[in-house]
Chains A and B, each alone.
Chain A
Amino acid sequence: GQQVQQSPASLVLQEGENAELQCNFSTSLNSMQWFYQRPGGSLVSLFYNPSGTKHSGRLTSTTVIKERRSSLHISSSQTTDSGTYLCALDNNRIFFGDGTQLVVKP
């Protein structure tokens, strides 16, 4: 079955709005990762977050292992934030979610 559920599947925002992306896991995990997928297909790792909250610029990741969920918050979105965001469950093997397609309109 699907190990990782991401929501929403797609999201359209106006520039300046905040975004909240969710990841839920159906199994235990060692850690999880959030990625931004470049147009060329390569992945940019945003967070490697076993637990707790991490910040990086306008991005915040919060993982609650006992609740099997993680979130990615993007504040004050910009058009350059548009793209695909993937979360991945790390349970000795990597399981990716289907991604959230984010579109930020000017």
Chain B
Amino acid sequence: GPKVLQIPSHQIIDMGQMVTLNCDPVSNHLYFYWYKQILGQQMEFLVNFYNGKVMEKSKLFKDQFSVERPDGSYFTLKIQPTALEDSAVYFCASSPDWGGNTGQLYFGEGSKLTVL
């Protein structure tokens, strides 16, 4: 089936550094999402993105976070600067249409971020 690829699968960085998480969504998908899961806790919605804009974001989407998809390349989540509490697994997802119409989000396997 359709695949969402995430790069890297694991990243270890020092607190205060910048990190960019990359997502290669399913081709022809138009809507993109990031989710965050701290180890042992629930997965939580961060942001969704369409047509070059953030459509919706949660309170977890701090000012240090930003997303973009320049010219149809990777959909990226950038954190600058990172903090210890940013350590988590970040999941990217894409859908061909607004979620409620198709009922199908395709998720990547996650990028595990460890901030030391």
Q: Could you list which residues of chain A lie within 8 angstroms of chain B, going by C-beta atoms?
A: 31, 33, 35, 37-43, 45, 48, 83-84, 88, 93-94, 96, 98-99, 101
- How far, in whole Å, are A40 and B55 apart by their CA atoms in the complex? 9
Report how many A-B pairs have Cβ atoms within 8 Å: 62
Q: In the complex the two chains form, is A83's CB within 8 Å of B100's CB? A: yes
Looking at the complex, which one of A37, A48, A83, A93 makes contact with B105 (CB distance below 8 Å)?
A37
Q: Is the interface of A mostly helix, strand, loop or mixed?
A: strand
Looking at the complex, which one of B43, B93, B98 makes contact with A40 (CB distance below 8 Å)?
B98
- How far, in whole Å, are A48 and B56 apart by their CA atoms in the complex? 23
Q: In the complex the two chains form, is A42's CB within 8 Å of B109's CB? A: no
Task: Tell me whether B110 is interfacial, beta carbon within 8 Å.
Answer: yes
- Select from chain A the residue with minimum beta-carbon distance to B93: A41
Chain A residues positioned under 8 Å from B58 (CB to CB)? 42
Known pairs A41-B33, A41-B98, A93-B110; A84 contacts B103 (CB<8 A): yes
Q: In the complex the two chains form, is B42's CB within 8 Å of A41's CB? A: no
Interface size on B, residues (CB 8 A): 28
Looking at the complex, which one of B44, B99, B101, B104 makes contact with A38 (CB distance below 8 Å)?
B99
- How far, in whole Å, are A99 and B95 apart by their CA atoms in the complex? 14
Q: In the complex the two chains form, is B42's CB within 8 Å of A33's CB? A: yes
- How far, in whole Å, are A41 and B107 apart by their CA atoms in the complex? 12
Across the A-B interface, the 6 shortest Cβ-Cβ residue pairs:
A41-B99, A39-B100, A42-B45, A45-B42, A48-B42, A84-B103
Q: In the complex the two chains form, is A41's CB within 8 Å of B43's CB? A: no
Q: In the complex the two chains form, is B43's CB within 8 Å of A42's CB? A: no
- How far, in whole Å, are A48 and B43 apart by their CA atoms in the complex? 9
Q: In the complex the two chains form, is B104's CB within 8 Å of A43's CB? A: no
A33, A48, A88, A94, most chain B CB atoms within 10 A: A94
Q: In the complex the two chains form, is A94's CB within 8 Å of B105's CB? A: no
Task: Tell me whether B35 is interfacial, beta carbon within 8 Å.
Answer: yes
Chain B residues positioned under 8 Å from A94 (CB to CB)? 37, 43, 89, 91, 107, 109-110
Q: In the complex the two chains form, is B33's CB within 8 Å of A42's CB? A: yes
Q: In the complex the two chains form, is A41's CB within 8 Å of B110's CB? A: no
